[in-house]
A and B are shown apart, each in its own frame.
Chain A
Amino acid sequence: MATWHEYLIKEGRPPAWPYPVRFGQEREIDTDVLVIGGGIAGCWAAISAARQGVRVALLEKGDVSRSGSGGPGCDHWCNAPANPLSRVDPDEWAVHMADQPYCNGIGIQIQCRENYDTLLEMEQMGGKIRDSEDEYVGAEGRDDETKLMISPRYGVKHSYLADFETVEPDYNPPEKRNNVVIRVWGSTFKPLLKKECLRLGVQVYDRVMGTSLLNENGVQGARVVGATGLNCRTGEFLIFRAKAVILATAGAGSLWLMSMEHGGYSNMHSRNISGDGTVMAWRAGAALTMMERSGGIGIATGLKHKWYTGAGDASYENVPIVDAKGRRLPYPIQGWEDAGAMVASPETEAKIRQGVLRGEYELPFFGDFPAMSDVERRATWLMMLGEESTTKIIVKTLNEGGFDLGRDQLMSYKLIEGQSPPQWREAGYGGGVLVDWNLKTTIEGLYAAGSQMFSPEDHSFCAATGRYAGRKAAVYAKEIGGDLKISREQIEQEKNRILAPTKRTSGAEWKELHNGLTRAMQYFVSEFKTERLLKMGLEEIERIEAETVPKLFALDPHKLMRSIEDLSMIEYAKIIIQAMRERKASSIPLDFHRIDYPELDPPEWDKYLTVKLENGQIKFGELPQRFWGNMKEQYEAHNRDYTGVYTPNK
């Protein structure tokens, strides 16, 4: 008996809500630094702030031990050019990484300078970063002295695209590799981060979602002096007073498609991500940027969201892809031979497709693990896949289910899984909170880290920027003093907003609201973008707000949490549409195509568009490409006091 209906049948009644229900009950907490979001960035922010000697509170919608996109694990520590095996200069590599439009040069510089230090601190906490048991002796990229394992990623450059020289023999010889990406045992990390938070005295509030930021005297755009939260199990309303707040809730959620029941789409992000932090920053008056960017989402026919739907589908990293008759396909394999390329060129894709249609290749395709050497396939299976986020459980169940790595080929779903419809998109491709060299937002007292920022990168980017933001926010909290002028009116408004769905027992429930929102986005904010369609989309969402939101009902604290997430996503969708309407040009790097403004990346639109609320009105602004200035100089000017790797007994 493990399901709800079995309980009902056996007991004759449904189970009672297992936690005390405290809708509307208040609890006040005072702290120096408040971190909202307990994923990778949030944990590192909390740890680093606490190490500066300030009081820290950490809010997490789930449980910090495994929450967030990086909670289950991490297989690659990307962009660690300061590691001892690296052949590139961290500052030069950062410039190389940031040599692309609409990236986050501030975060990239921080990552390149500090994320090897961050990794060493992870090791101090007990995280496994070396092949200390000699399980992979002989694996390519393993350094016998340090026992670090270099990954084939970024072997020649930082792209996942195949280089035109890939096919040349000896294209990526060991002596020429950049060695900037390290394979790690990341499934060990997250529980250790929680343990360190607790060891340092961080007040961890699990199952509490942040719902709003509190501005000084309740004035939008004024200094942030705290936040409100909702306990997702009890409905308790929490009021935090804090000298500094760090947002680390990551970006958007499933705005264009909610497909829980069939788990059908490819998404690297946690199910809990719903744009809460971005919307909190927006309501508080902080500027956002890149909100007009979105991207297609892949369909992961085989297993939800992993493996990737790229060329390496079903196998990944050094695993040759073969057709049903065992013929090697010309897909890149993110391996040593192609310096980590994983995306086939359009020409290669077309060649394979034509080959299938003409009968030269036969479907389906397979990842040919048996063709690999034992140590290489173990490295891919047990580290690349066994340590990476949600693939660990895939490896575990396949192993238990009879899959034999030395004997069996894993099926790939390339071509037969089809393409995702163009109206299914994802907003997690760049939009976020604007930050400066202190990772401070445009309002006082408010910081952002990891995927909460615009144009975020990967796990180690979140770790390094979280660690950095924690340090900076702690310095601010020490300087600012404790006179926090919180507005009771602002708190009352927020309390009324989030408790409203608990006042009803029928009307519209959160899933219907969510699906209605995704439908509006699919119809009006997708492949075909015009002023008319975008305006219709905005009007439709405003109609949902006016007519459906007042009917929203939530029967328990969990459903209330999902309802509040949907309200965040409604706001997030409106910001996206406003930003899309404002950018009157198309752009390849923004994956943004307007039928009424078809010109691609015209010079006058080669800029970041910023958006914020001022006195309740939307205000647009702009910033030039590389607005962060000289990365090395700026980093050094802002970090003269940086002391490197933490000394536990300091």
Chain B
Amino acid sequence: MVSEQRVFAIPNVQTPSMPVTFDPNVCKGCNTCVEVCPIDVFIPNPQKGAPPIILHAEECWYCGCCACDCPNPGAIKFNWPLPLKPRWRNKETGKVSQL
């Protein structure tokens, strides 16, 4: 909760801010994604074993190599920004879904 903590004067958060989400229970902080990412979207977390920190979120080109090459399946989930979420339709029922 922000209200219980110190509120800092910081610039607007980048858009999008989270091209991926990490599951801290699965991620072992091995930093494979930090090394694989061609963009340096991530930096290693100073706390050893913790998921990397997303630093250059808005430079992500959504190549997906971080998630595809992650040695701990489920640690990284791709989080498409809202305007990029794809849609599909059940052919029988016509129900439209979105990621």
Residue numbers of A with Cβ under 8 A of B are 1-5, 7-10, 12, 15-16, 18, 61-63, 65-68, 71-72, 187, 191, 207, 232-233, 260-264, 270-272, 301-305, 314, 326, 366, 368, 370, 389-390, 392-394, 396-398, 400-403, 407-411, 558
- A304 and B51 CA atoms in complex are apart in Å by 26
Q: How far is the CB of B46 from chain A (nearest CB, A)?
A: 6
The reply to whether B40 and A558 contact each other, CB–CB distance below 8 Å, is yes
Which residues of B sit under 8 angstroms from A271, Cβ to Cβ?
Answer: 38-39, 59-61
> Contacts A15-B53, A262-B83, A393-B68: A9 and B62 contacting too (C-beta < 8 A)?
no
Sample of 14 A–B contacts (CB below 8 Å): A1-B50, A9-B5, A9-B8, A66-B37, A72-B64, A261-B15, A270-B38, A272-B39, A392-B68, A393-B63, A396-B68, A397-B80, A408-B90, A411-B86
**Closest A residue, CB atoms, query B94:** A324
Which residues of B sit under 8 angstroms from A403, Cβ to Cβ?
Answer: 88, 97
> Contacts A9-B6, A366-B89, A409-B91: A3 and B65 contacting too (C-beta < 8 A)?
no
Q: How far is the CB of A641 from chain B (nearest CB, A)?
A: 36
Q: A1-B24, A9-B5, A401-B99 are in contact. List 8 more A-B contacts (CB 8 A).
A: A1-B51, A2-B53, A66-B63, A72-B65, A191-B69, A271-B61, A393-B62, A408-B88
The reply to whether B58 and A68 contact each other, CB–CB distance below 8 Å, is no
Within 8 A of A (CB), among B10-58: 10, 13-18, 21-22, 24, 35-40, 43-44, 46, 50-58
- Looking at chain A's contact residues, is the secondary structure mostly helix, strand, loop, or mixed? loop
The reply to whether B89 and A396 contact each other, CB–CB distance below 8 Å, is no
Which residues of B sit under 8 angstroms from A370, Cβ to Cβ?
Answer: 91
**Closest B residue, CB atoms, query A191:** B69
**Closest B residue, CB atoms, query A371:** B91
- A203 and B10 CA atoms in complex are apart in Å by 42
The reply to whether A62 and B37 contact each other, CB–CB distance below 8 Å, is yes
- A398 and B87 CA atoms in complex are apart in Å by 9
The reply to whether B46 and A303 contact each other, CB–CB distance below 8 Å, is no
- A262 and B85 CA atoms in complex are apart in Å by 12
Q: How far is the CB of B88 from chain A (nearest CB, A)?
A: 4
Which residues of B sit under 8 angstroms from A558, Cβ to Cβ?
Answer: 40, 56
Q: How far is the CB of A206 from chain B (nearest CB, A)?
A: 8
The reply to whether A263 and B78 contact each other, CB–CB distance below 8 Å, is no
Q: How far is the CB of A255 from chain B (nearest CB, A)?
A: 16
Partner of B64, one of A12, A232, A270, A393: A393
Partner of A393, one of B13, B53, B56, B78: B78
| Residue with the greatest number of chain A CB neighbours at <10 A, chosen from B13, B21, B84 | B84
**Closest B residue, CB atoms, query A326:** B91
Q: How far is the CB of B94 from chain A (nearest CB, A)?
A: 9
Partner of A7, one of B39, B53, B61, B64: B53
Which residues of A sit under 8 angstroms from B5, Cβ to Cβ?
Answer: 9-10
Report the count of interface residues on B (CB-CB < 8 A).
58
- A399 and B91 CA atoms in complex are apart in Å by 16
- A411 and B86 CA atoms in complex are apart in Å by 7
Which residues of B sit under 8 angstroms from A68, Cβ to Cβ?
Answer: 38
The reply to whether B40 and A260 contact each other, CB–CB distance below 8 Å, is no
Which 7 A-B pairs have CB atoms at the shortest separation, nearest pair first? A393-B64, A62-B38, A271-B61, A66-B65, A67-B38, A411-B87, A408-B88
Which residues of A sit under 8 angstroms from B10, Cβ to Cβ?
Answer: 5, 8
Which residues of A sit under 8 angstroms from B54, Cβ to Cβ?
Answer: 2-4
| Residue with the greatest number of chain A CB neighbours at <10 A, chosen from B5, B13, B18, B40 | B40
**Closest B residue, CB atoms, query A397:** B78
The reply to whether B88 and A303 contact each other, CB–CB distance below 8 Å, is no
**Closest B residue, CB atoms, query A558:** B40
**Closest A residue, CB atoms, query B16:** A261
Which residues of A sit under 8 angstroms from B87, Cβ to Cβ?
Answer: 302, 410-411
The reply to whether A15 and B86 contact each other, CB–CB distance below 8 Å, is no
The reply to whether B61 and A270 contact each other, CB–CB distance below 8 Å, is yes
Partner of A62, one of B2, B13, B39, B97: B39
The reply to whether A66 and B89 contact each other, CB–CB distance below 8 Å, is no
The reply to whether A304 and B61 contact each other, CB–CB distance below 8 Å, is yes
Q: How far is the CB of A299 from chain B (nearest CB, A)?
A: 11
The reply to whether B86 and A394 contact each other, CB–CB distance below 8 Å, is yes
Which residues of B sit under 8 angstroms from A191, Cβ to Cβ?
Answer: 69
The reply to whether A187 and B38 contact each other, CB–CB distance below 8 Å, is no
The reply to whether A264 and B83 contact each other, CB–CB distance below 8 Å, is yes
Which residues of A sit under 8 angstroms from B51, Cβ to Cβ?
Answer: 1-2
The reply to whether B22 and A302 contact each other, CB–CB distance below 8 Å, is no
| Residue with the greatest number of chain A CB neighbours at <10 A, chosen from B80, B91, B97 | B91
Which residues of B sit under 8 angstroms from A401, Cβ to Cβ?
Answer: 99
Which residues of A sit under 8 angstroms from B14, Cβ to Cβ?
Answer: 261
**Closest B residue, CB atoms, query A7:** B53
> Contacts A18-B44, A261-B14, A261-B15: A304 and B62 contacting too (C-beta < 8 A)?
yes
**Closest B residue, CB atoms, query A390:** B63
The reply to whether A232 and B91 contact each other, CB–CB distance below 8 Å, is no
- A71 and B64 CA atoms in complex are apart in Å by 10
- A272 and B63 CA atoms in complex are apart in Å by 12
The reply to whether B69 and A66 contact each other, CB–CB distance below 8 Å, is yes
Q: How far is the CB of A189 from chain B (nearest CB, A)?
A: 12
The reply to whether B46 and A18 contact each other, CB–CB distance below 8 Å, is yes
Partner of B90, one of A4, A8, A72, A407: A407
> Contacts A2-B22, A12-B6: A302 and B84 contacting too (C-beta < 8 A)?
yes
Q: How far is the CB of B93 from chain A (nearest CB, A)?
A: 9
The reply to whether B91 and A5 contact each other, CB–CB distance below 8 Å, is no
Which residues of B sit under 8 angstroms from A389, Cβ to Cβ?
Answer: 63
**Closest B residue, CB atoms, query A207:** B40
- A641 and B17 CA atoms in complex are apart in Å by 54
Q: How far is the CB of B50 from chain A (nearest CB, A)?
A: 7
| Residue with the greatest number of chain A CB neighbours at <10 A, chosen from B63, B65, B69 | B63
Q: How far is the CB of B67 from chain A (nearest CB, A)?
A: 6
The reply to whether B18 and A3 contact each other, CB–CB distance below 8 Å, is yes
The reply to whether B53 and A3 contact each other, CB–CB distance below 8 Å, is yes
- A328 and B82 CA atoms in complex are apart in Å by 30
- A410 and B35 CA atoms in complex are apart in Å by 33
**Closest B residue, CB atoms, query A562:** B59
- A354 and B43 CA atoms in complex are apart in Å by 51
Which residues of A sit under 8 angstroms from B24, Cβ to Cβ?
Answer: 1
Within 8 A of A (CB), among B63-83: 63-65, 67-69, 77-78, 80-81, 83
